[in-house]
Amino acid sequence: MFEEYISELEVEHNLEMLLPKLQEMINEYYGRSSSGQVVLSKDFLSESRPPVIIKKKGRVYWKLILEYQNDYDGASRSVYGFVRRSDGAILKAASWQKPETRTKGAIRGYVTDEFAQDYFNASGVIYDV
């Protein structure tokens, strides 16, 4: 059977097209409170801006990182997910350094899928598929 070959450049292009959609979803999530009302102020030393997605290239994977900035120039980071460079597979994080690859359903989808943003929520890769 014919298998479609996807180049690393095509995977990277699809990831670049996906990142603004994910950032928009995150902005929408962090721009509203749990009651659905727009948040006008935050508590002392909390984040008043939504986190920003950063893509960091590794040997095998792109690591997607959420960077949180607070009003006092403090920053914290968390892993949003991993994308395998060779085929665009989306994987959840096992730790800061590596994705979860040992489970049966480790791959959540591919960045080349039409609705790849559905594999993510505001805090990272969706755990149950």
Per domain, the residue ranges of the chain are 8-33+49-117
pLDDT at 47: 52
- Residue 123 above 80 pLDDT? yes
Q: Which of 34-43, 63-72, 76-85, 115-124 has the lowest mean pLDDT?
A: 34-43
CA dist 118 and 125 (Å) reads: 9
pLDDT score of 45: 44
89-96 CB contacts, 8 Å cutoff, 24+ apart: 90/116, 90/119, 90/120, 90/125, 91/61, 91/125, 92/124, 92/125, 92/127, 93/124, 93/125
103 CB-near residues (< 8 Å, 6+ apart): none
Q: What is the pTM of this model?
A: 0.81
